[in-house]
Amino acid sequence: MIFSPSPPPDDVISVSALNRLARELLELGVPPVWISGEISNLTLAASGHAYFSLKDGSAQVRCVMFRNALTRLAAKPREGMQVELRGQVTLYEARGEFQINVETLRSAGLGRLYEAFEKLKAKLEAEGLFAAERKRALPSHPRAIGIVTSPAAAALRDVVSTLHRRMPSIPLILYPTPVQGLGAEQQIAAAIRQASARSEVDVLIVCRGGGSIEDLWAFNEEVVARAVADCRIPVVSGVGHETDFTICDFVADRRAPTPTAAAELVSPSREQLLQRVDQVQRQLERALSRLMTDKAQQLDFLSRRLVHPGERLARQRDTLKLAEHRLQSRIRAILDGSNRRLASTEARLARLFPDLGSQHRQLDQLGERLDRSMARLLAECQRRLARCEGTLTALNPNAVLARGYAIVQKADGRAVKAPYEVVRGERVTLRLAEGQTEAIIDPPQTATQIQAELPF
């Protein structure tokens, strides 16, 4: 290990030289190392550099990560994040502060506080305490505003000054409580419950200024979240700066990025209301002026239309006479038309009126003709029926069978018409006039066989 030569003990050196010598000793004596710890007091500067403390259970060290190294990270560092970082141990000469220039870092799991934050957040969200439907609207013109914070907090001064500037007529009620330290969460919850029980304000601001995650931790406790959720008064959470989020923010009816913004949320602006009143007054004046002008013009127009009652009656008499003449002409025209239509209808009825005597005679003749035709048709049908009956009787196979004939049928019911259609030994059915019987086919004997069998 190589160190730069130290100055002689009798020489007097400046502070700058001392810090430079210490920085060189640190950078030469301690090579870049990997260090694990939890990020705290994180600040992302406008220049793009990140400043934070890396701590464990018993110590902490300042760290800086410059923009070029920060942009190479896949995930940006977060407050409470447990990390492993590699950096050069050095000393910031301008302030004489021991620090680590971080080259890179990687996540080593969530920090204890951050892990507890996420666990409680997930629990309360599952219970529905963050649901949008349970959020209440803030009153547009509150009669009184309550503030839950420390009397010594700078946030109280910001809120009070903002409320007095915007609407000095609204009374303010402070529910004092510590906002950090041991047991602060219990006292904050008690102040919220007290405001809810007294119900003397229309909206409640829970606020404090910015700080590290440890400073704001009282607002991440479950007892505070439960008190906000149970509060009967709409609650606005204004804890920390714009980048700070607490469990109280999620449970509250509205979240404000800062205490000042919370005061602006709950109070109407006196200047804006006065401007609105002036605007409405000007609109009313213009509308009234426009109405008066329109009514004056309407009055002039009506005055030109106004005439003497006698003249109006004379005009109405002339109009009535004209209407009477037109009515009489119309009635005469209607009566003449009706008379013409009536005469035409009577003439058509006279032409179309039937001769009942002639119709009766014609009907009798048609009846006689119908009787004669039906008699002839019936006789003809009887003759045709007799002929069909004779034909059916002649063609009836049962009549043939009655004379001693038989019908030979095969097993499938077909009639045998020639000897070659059957074979020896085949069983056939003989259909007779009175029933049926079965037989077996035996071939006929020859003439020689017949002579041999004769007895003579």
Q: Looking at the structure, do residues 262 and 127 belong to the same domain, yes or no?
A: yes
Q: Looking at the structure, do residues 73 and 211 belong to the same domain, yes or no?
A: no
pLDDT 10s digits, 122-151: 999 999 999 999 999 999 899 999 999 999
**Apex CA 350: angle with CA 349 and CA 354, to 5°?**
85
Residue 408 burial by Cβ neighbours in a 10 Å radius (0-12, 13-18, 19+): middle
Mean pLDDT of 35-45: 91
Query: 235 has which bridge partners?
Result: 204
- Is residue 181 in some structural domain? yes
The answer, yes or no, to whether residue 169 has pLDDT greater than 50, is yes
Q: Looking at the structure, do residues 239 and 285 belong to the same domain, yes or no?
A: no
Using pLDDT thresholds of 50, 70 and 90, give the confidence band for residue 353: low
Closest to 265 (Cα-Cα) out of 242, 237, 288: 237
The H or E element containing residue 115 is: helix 112-126
Res 452: pLDDT? 47
- Is residue 277 in some structural domain? yes
Res 190: pLDDT? 95
Q: Looking at the structure, do residues 160 and 263 belong to the same domain, yes or no?
A: yes
Closest to 266 (Cα-Cα) out of 230, 239, 234: 234
Provide the CATH number for the domain around residue 70.
2.40.50.140
Domain that holds residue 82: 15-110
**Rounded Cα gap, residues 125 and 233, in angstroms:** 21
* Overall pTM > 0.85: no
- Is residue 346 in some structural domain? no
- Is residue 201 in some structural domain? yes
Res 412: pLDDT? 84
Mean pLDDT of 91-99: 91
Q: Looking at the structure, do residues 242 and 296 belong to the same domain, yes or no?
A: no
**Cβ atoms of 61 and 99 closer than 8 Å:** yes
- Is residue 51 in some structural domain? yes
- Is residue 1 in some structural domain? no
Q: Looking at the structure, do residues 67 and 24 belong to the same domain, yes or no?
A: yes
**Range among 75-79, 137-141, 307-311 rated most confident:** 137-141
Provide the CATH number for the domain around residue 239.
3.40.50.960
Q: How many CB atoms lie within 10 A of CB 202?
A: 17
Using pLDDT thresholds of 50, 70 and 90, give the confidence band for residue 446: very low
- Is residue 8 in some structural domain? no
Using pLDDT thresholds of 50, 70 and 90, give the confidence band for residue 447: very low
Q: Which of 222, 250, 268 is the last residue of a domain?
A: 268
Q: Looking at the structure, do residues 147 and 51 belong to the same domain, yes or no?
A: no
Domain count, the chain: 4
Using pLDDT thresholds of 50, 70 and 90, give the confidence band for residue 290: confident
Closest to 253 (Cα-Cα) out of 267, 265, 240: 265
Report helix, strand or coil for 215. Answer: coil
pLDDT 10s digits, 249-284: 999 999 999 999 999 999 988 888 888 888 999 999
Q: Which of 268, 290, 322 is the last residue of a domain?
A: 268
The answer, yes or no, to whether residue 76 has pLDDT greater than 60, is yes
Q: Looking at the structure, do residues 158 and 262 belong to the same domain, yes or no?
A: yes
pLDDT 10s digits, 383-419: 888 888 878 877 777 777 777 778 888 888 788 888 8
Average pLDDT, the chain: 85
Mean pLDDT of 432-452: 67
Res 449: pLDDT? 45
Most distant pair of Cα atoms in the chain: their distance = 185
Q: Looking at the structure, do residues 129 and 78 belong to the same domain, yes or no?
A: no
Res 354: pLDDT? 65
Q: Looking at the structure, do residues 164 and 258 belong to the same domain, yes or no?
A: yes
Structure-token pair, residue 269: 């602006």
If one compares 78 and 11, the residue with the highest pLDDT of the two is 78
Using pLDDT thresholds of 50, 70 and 90, give the confidence band for residue 2: very low
Q: Looking at the structure, do residues 24 and 105 belong to the same domain, yes or no?
A: yes
Report helix, strand or coil for 218. Answer: helix
Q: Looking at the structure, do residues 159 and 183 belong to the same domain, yes or no?
A: yes
The answer, yes or no, to whether residue 453 has pLDDT greater than 70, is no
Query: Between the CA of residue 260 and those of 55, 165, 169, 268, 349, what are the distances in Å?
Result: 32, 11, 18, 13, 104
Q: Which of 291-295, 394-398, 448-452 is predicted least confidently?
A: 448-452
**Rounded Cα gap, residues 399 and 396, in angstroms:** 6
- Is residue 246 in some structural domain? yes
**Rounded Cα gap, residues 162 and 156, in angstroms:** 10
Res 450: pLDDT? 39
pLDDT 10s digits, 194-210: 999 999 999 999 999 88
Res 112: pLDDT? 67
Using pLDDT thresholds of 50, 70 and 90, give the confidence band for residue 355: low
Res 234: pLDDT? 95
Mean pLDDT of 167-187: 92
Res 309: pLDDT? 77
